[in-house]
Structure 1
Amino acid sequence: MTYYVPRGGLPSQTDLTTERSVFTESYAVIPRRTMTDIVTSFLPFWEGMRMWIIARPLSGFSETFSQYIVEVQPGGGSDKPELDPGAEAVLFVTTGELELTIDGEQHTMTDGGYAFLPPGARWTLHNRGDEVAGFHWIRKSYQHVDGVEAPEAFVTNEKEVAPTPMPDTDGAWATTRFVDLADMRHDMHCTIVTFQPGGVIPFPETHVMEHGLYVLQGKAMYLLNRDWVEVEAGDFMWLRAFCPQACYAGGPGPFRYLLYKDVNRHAPLTGYLR
């Protein structure tokens, strides 16, 4: 598998300033060229790390999740990575090797590694290797439901999960799902969507779920509300609820993205429920 990984740096003084960055009332696009050194952030209780925050809850926009692209130097990591006991998370490794410990059980994660961490999980993360490691960290405030227990932690790898072809597409459009769609314990899905060259979403999807889409590989034309936007590996799209979307995969290789969406819960009527 191939995953785009930002490396930072700073554009030359002779480069054009014009880019594809846009923030509208219904969607945002953060192109990969904007992932420079000067827009990185840091966190307490971490060593040898920096991150690009590409999504965070904003009133009136996408309200349910945050997403970071994290870079961890050799010897870096944290024994206290998550400070919010109500936060659940998905980690997806794109490069290097990371040692994840959940409630005392150790897991080695390499590229394609995927971990779900329920609220209240006790976990640590370290780079014990000799190369820089990178991963996506998607966080959501878990919505508890009386009579439905919270899901347990698990660790897997994309290579161990067979993609599910979408009906009537002959495999041109497939989704790698890490959680059973019928499992009501989960209130978010983080999947990998793959389009073969020429594959399409053949209608403008319009739905209540918010989306974060990070392009792992390839390029495409993506419909965001009324605008067709060209996107490529390393770009991030942030879609408000009900924002119409569709795409054409441009080739020559597959077009793949890491997708977040909120699922399986009532629409809160008195503010977002914790």
Structure 2
Amino acid sequence: MEQLRGTGVALVTPFKKDESIDWNALEKVIDHVISGGVDYIVSLGTTGETPTLSAEEKLDIIKFTFGKVSKRVPVVIGVGDYNTRDVVKRLETCPLDEAAAVLSVAPYYSKPSQEGLFQHYKAVAAASPKPVILYNVPGRTGRNMTAQTTLRLAHEVPNIIAMKEASGDMVQCMQIIKDKPEDFLVISGDDALAMPQVAAGMDGLISVAANYFAEGVSGMIRATLANDLPAARQLHYSLQDAFDLMFEENNPAGVKAFMQEAGLIENVFRLPVVPVSAGLQSRIAAFLKNYA
């Protein structure tokens, strides 16, 4: 899966003031990230506010994204839930012919055991017509998937080809890198940690920040993969304050605040997500005024 090395971007879903999907803005964002050098696009991740999208809207976004990307870069589709049966059913009905892979978040809220996580992903992989990327984000799901569970899935389930690791635990990440199958990808899910994680052996990043900083983030990851660490560090530290601001209150509220400042999208959400506070918005505007 060499096409999934490098920088993927977890696309936001732009909304109009009436909270309907802003298709013109979504097309603008797609063109912005591709021209900025990202290697692939992830549609319907958490950053896309998928919990507040209807099933019909998700299908429309998939079809629209395939059409507007027009095979310029690979597209990964997010298909995850806390109900294994629902994930299996959606995998059987989703229009995935043009997808490079499926990104499936670990079941949230129900906090399954490690064996439960293994059995969930085994069922998902069996149902998926496309390769599966695991997604561990315990800050959202309430349950960490251990390195041992990840490695068990990587070694025992052929259709599972990668892990998006967003635990923030560098030791856990290195355990996976050390013992993974040779052809299994380990992808960072943390913009602020991605440069050192890729330097330690990860294969890239699925980024939130690349919705706005497509050129800077993809350049940082490209330099790290090429072992040009001075250039990678320079890009990382130029973006560090932006990462802090972006995730201070909420994702995707932070990244949408940046994008609104640039005129890419309206700063509109569906509850329970709300815009960032006025104070944070002003600090984001001040940062961008000085960012070069």
Higher strand share: 1
